[in-house]
Structure 1
Amino acid sequence: MPRHDGGEKPQRSCLACRETRDRDRLIRFVLSPQGEVVPDLDAKLPGRGAYTCIDAACLAAAVKQRQFGRAFKREVAVPTPDEMTAQVAKLLLERVMGYIALANKAGKIVAGGSMVGDALKSKNKPGLVLVARDVSEAIGEKIAAQAAGNNVPCRWVLTKDDFGALLGKAPRSAIGIKSSGFVVQLLKTIERYRNFLGEVQ
């Protein structure tokens, strides 16, 4: 692998499609002491790493083609393609939920469709709006239009019950994240999750 100077990011190749990308645009996998293939979303676990695109199709193909054994040059224990993609999707979704919970703990969340709407009309607009996937189309589109009209990013993720559980409240149709470092982290994490599901090209 060539060295990268001048601030260039290190690159790696996807086990399945062989496309080379910046390392932080891939998912890293390592071997556990028991020889099990383990996702390393933070890319911090010790040992040799193997990579796939942030794409369930690439991960499933890597498993089917037995690419992890070739990459680690030994026999490895790896779940089925469906199990592996479900495991990574769950971990990515947990990251999204974790950042929302942290933002709530820090007092950076406005919850509820009407509250988010009011916040979008105020001087201190939220930096990000999240709309529940299972909200009614009329309500969801209204909130999304309000966000767009105020140049605030809007993403559809989780459910009304998920929002409520994370905030310790009744179900909520939408939440607003006040401008803070949580906005950047959530946008990045949601993008990775949606990319993995094939929702973002």
Structure 2
Amino acid sequence: MGGSGRAERSCLGCRQVRPQSELTRYVVSPDGIALLIDYRHRLPGRGGYTCPTMGCLSHAVKRNQFQRALRAGNLQVDLAQLVIEFRNQVLQRIENLIGMARKSNQLVSGSNQFLAEVGRGRVPGLVLLAKDVSVGIGDKIRQRITASASGTPICQLFTKEHLGTLLGRDERSVVGIWQGKLSEALVLELQRYEDFAGEI
């Protein structure tokens, strides 16, 4: 326990001590054979932790740290499968956060609406551009963000159709998440996804 009262754990990869909330948790499956990612820290049982990075997970697997920390000698750890599962869980978290931003009116979608709001002085904490956005619209959005000198991150992860589906609308080329806790949480999750997938 750190001085701030927050629970702390050691990463099985780099051994750095960090707040538990900043680490990825893993548990053993009920049959004692498979390693499960407990991304939301909700599953029962003894847990092991790593930093949410490919490097730390890889080190922990190669050094058999999960078997030792979780006291599971028969544990079979497949690094490639863990990476896929981690990526899927982070992606689900990203989609959930976008849904929360929509329900709480913390976003704007559509290039015209986005540019109009930014023109009125609103500052987004994150901009999501569709992977298949047109060159013209993409350049216009990037130029506006650059001109505002806000340092707002721009990420391309979903297609126009997927963005629209997440918002319950037709295709969307751009989604702006306004500054706040939701945009900060999304930026963090997108950074984690990028480390494991390298797609953003």
- TM-score scaled by length of structure 1: 0.81
Amino acid at match of 1:84: L
Structure 2 equivalent of residue 67 of structure 1: 65
Tell whether 2:85 aligns with 1:87.
Answer: yes
Aligned partner letter, 1:82: A
The one-character-per-residue Cα deviations of 1:99-149 (angstroms, maximum 9, x if unpaired) are: 112222333331122221111101444443222234345533431332243
**Which AA in structure 2 matches 1:104?**
R
Q: Which residue of 2 aligns with 1:12?
A: 9
CA 1:182/1:38 → structure 2, altered by over 3 Å: closer, same or farther? same
Residue identity in the other structure for 1:158: L
Q: Secondary structure at the residue paired with 1:39?
A: strand
SS of the equivalent of 1:176 reads strand
> Residues 155 and 127 of structure 1: is their aligned pair in 2 closer, same or farther, counting only changes over 3 Å?
same
8 A contact 1:68–1:76 mirrored in 2: no
Q: What letter matches 1:155 in structure 2?
A: I
More off after superposition, 131-140 vs 191-200: 191-200
Q: Secondary structure at the match of 1:18?
A: coil
| In structure 2, distance between residues paired with 1:43 and 1:76 | 23
- Matching residue of 1:162: 162
RMSD: 2.7
Tell me the amino acid that sits aligned with residue 191 of structure 2.
Answer: E
For residues 20 and 134 of structure 1, what CA distance do their matches in structure 2 show? 41
Letter in 2 for 1:14: C
AA of the residue aligned to 2:16: E
Provide the C-alpha distance between the structure 1 equivalents of 2:29 and 2:9, rounded to a whole number of angstroms.
21
Q: Tell me if 1:50 matches 2:48.
A: yes
List alignment gaps of at least 5 residues for structure 2: none
* Contact 1:131–1:154 under 8 Å retained in 2: no
Shift of residue 89, structure 1, vs aligned partner: 0.7
C-alpha distance in 2 between matches for 1:123 and 1:4: 41
Structure 1 stretches of 4+ with a deviation exceeding 6 A read none
The alignment of Structure 1 onto Structure 2 pairs a total of residues equal to 197
Q: Give the distance between the partners of 2:72 and 2:49, measured in 1 at CA.
A: 16
Q: How does 1:1-201 map to 2 (within 5 A)?
A: 3-5=1-3, 7=4, 9-35=6-32, 36-150=34-148, 151=150, 153-159=152-158, 160-197=160-197
What's the offset of the Cα at 1:87? 0.4
CA drift of 1:64 comes to 3.7
Output the amino acid matched with 1:48.
Answer: R
Measure how far apart 1:76 and its partner are. 4.5
CA distance in 1, matches of 2:195, 2:21: 13
